[in-house]
Amino acid sequence: MEQENTHKRRVRYSGTHPKKFEEKYKEHNPEKYADTVAKVISKGSTPAGMHISIMVNEILEVLQIKPDEIGLDATLGYGGHTRKMMEKLEGSGHHYALDIDPIEIEKTTKRLREAGFSEEIFTPINRNFAELLEIGREHGPFDYLLADLGVSSMQIDNPERGFSYKLDGPLDLRLNPTKGDSAADILQKVSYDELCGMLIENSDEPYAEKLAARIIKERRKKRIDTTTRLREIIEDTLSFLPDNKEKKDIIKKTCQRVFQALRIDVNSEFEVLEKFLMALPEVMNKGGRIAILTFHSGEDRLVKKAFKMYKKQGIFSEISEDVIRPGAEEQRVNPRSRSTKLRWAVV
């Protein structure tokens, strides 16, 4: 007997607007519900399940992409930068794109294929950009290269990934959720000194000692395995602060810094970036252009130092003397762009 197909209803929500990630079905489908997505963006928010590319025009101006060139987007994400770069190729040349996240690279590749970017011009690669040297030997050398070091909004907004203190979910924070220790695993075994060092080195956390001591104490009672529990521990640790209008802002910024420090440690972000930067001279053609977007001072220091070193050694012919920041209008429309710094170099 033939089995009947059961009709699957969309997720319903109470009130006039969806609040949970899975309820925002219109935002998850930007092609079908373009008007809804446009309204969300106009209010300075990022639609659920998508990412607004940062400083697109500035990047294209720096990279000066021409037809027939070979290029690399080292951090594919939602694919907004890659799409604009491929348009500059005008159907010739080839564009490669890396992403360590096996979940998002599949979704992005599907969107770009449906937009008309075939295998002839676009190759996605599910690898970490720490492997740039090997990737360059296989597919390079490159005429242009972009690395956007920010975490994609799709990862931040999905509570199942555990990137945001605002959303309840497992305390994971892995860019590749199939490999390595989660943030919960690390908090369970890290020493007090290591945790203090992590909070100071990765996010300049002023309350590092108090937070580390409290986290160690709390994990003995019960494993810290959700974003909500970690946020509550942070809030309780800072309960000694005077009850004034500044307290809420201090707690918010402390939560951001603690989650940032953990994410950097979980994904070995500084080590990965250093390996990537060391490989740059080996994978670029003479005259090749490089653009890197950073989002916190630790990243920017590493990029600045590497660019200056290569310029002094005569490997890079030009580098940006100052960072380029997003304009006021972009920061208004996309608040997540506010901390962005763009540096560029020419080989």
With 0-12 / 13-18 / 19 or more C-beta atoms within 10 angstroms meaning exposed / middle / buried, residue 347 is buried
Q: Is 164 a domain residue?
A: no
Domain residues for the domain of 294 are 56-153+270-346
One pLDDT digit (tens) per residue for the chain, 347 residues: 444 455 555 656 566 665 555 454 444 555 555 555 445 545 444 454 555 889 999 999 999 999 999 999 999 988 999 999 999 999 999 999 999 888 889 999 999 999 999 999 999 999 999 999 999 999 999 999 999 997 766 666 677 777 788 889 999 999 888 889 999 999 999 999 999 999 999 999 999 999 999 999 999 999 999 999 999 999 999 999 998 889 999 999 999 999 999 999 999 999 999 999 999 999 999 999 999 999 888 899 999 999 999 999 999 999 999 999 999 998 888 887 888 999 999 99
Domain boundary residue among 234, 266, 298?
266
CA gap 20, 13 in Å, rounded: 8
Q: Is residue 276 located within the same domain as residue 255?
A: no
DSSP string over 12-77: P-SSSS--SGGG-TTTT-TTT-HHHHHHHHHTT-PPTT--PPSSHHHHHHHH---TT-EEEES--T
Q: For position 229, which CATH number holds? A: 1.10.150
Q: Is residue 78 located within the same domain as residue 45?
A: no
In the sheet where 70-73 sits, what is the strand order?
122-125, 94-98, 70-73, 142-148, 284-294, 341-346, 318-319
Q: For position 287, which CATH number holds? A: 3.40.50.150
Q: Is residue 89 located within the same domain as residue 223?
A: no
Question: What is the tally of structural domains in the chain?
Answer: 3
Question: What is the total residue count of the chain?
Answer: 347
Q: Is 163 a domain residue?
A: no
Its sign, for the CA torsion 232, 238, 242, 247, is: negative
Q: Is residue 256 located within the same domain as residue 225?
A: yes
CA gap 320, 117 in Å, rounded: 32
CA gap 233, 231 in Å, rounded: 5
Whether omega for the bond prior to residue 30 falls within 30 degrees of 0, making it cis, is no
Q: Is 159 a domain residue?
A: no
Q: Is 12 a domain residue?
A: yes
Q: Is residue 61 located within the same domain as residue 144?
A: yes
Category of 74 on φ-ψ map: left (φ > 0), alpha (ψ -120 to 50) or beta: alpha
Q: Is residue 216 located within the same domain as residue 258?
A: yes
Helices (H), 238-290: 245-266, 269-283
Annotate 134-147 with three-state secondary structure: HHHHHHCCEEEEEE
Its sign, for the CA torsion 181, 186, 191, 195, is: positive
Domain boundary residue among 239, 266, 293?
266
346: enclosing H helix or E strand: strand 341-346
Domain boundary residue among 223, 246, 266?
266
Q: Is 162 a domain residue?
A: no
3-state SS assignment for residue 170: strand
Q: Is 307 a domain residue?
A: yes
CA gap 109, 76 in Å, rounded: 9
pLDDT at residue 26 in the model: 46
Q: Is residue 43 located within the same domain as residue 87?
A: no
Decide: 74 and 145 in contact? Cβ < 8 Å. yes
Instruction: Give the Cβ contact number of residue 141 at 10 Å.
Output: 16
Q: Is residue 198 located within the same domain as residue 239?
A: yes
CA gap 43, 38 in Å, rounded: 9
Q: Is residue 212 located within the same domain as residue 147?
A: no
- pTM for this prediction: 0.78
Q: Is residue 142 located within the same domain as residue 280?
A: yes
pLDDT at residue 151 in the model: 74
Token pair belonging to 19: 């609040």
Q: Is residue 214 located within the same domain as residue 235?
A: yes
Q: Is 316 a domain residue?
A: yes
Decide: 263 and 151 in contact? Cβ < 8 Å. yes
Q: Is residue 33 located within the same domain as residue 89?
A: no
Strand partners, 145: 72, 290
Q: Is 167 a domain residue?
A: no
Give the amino acid at 24.
K
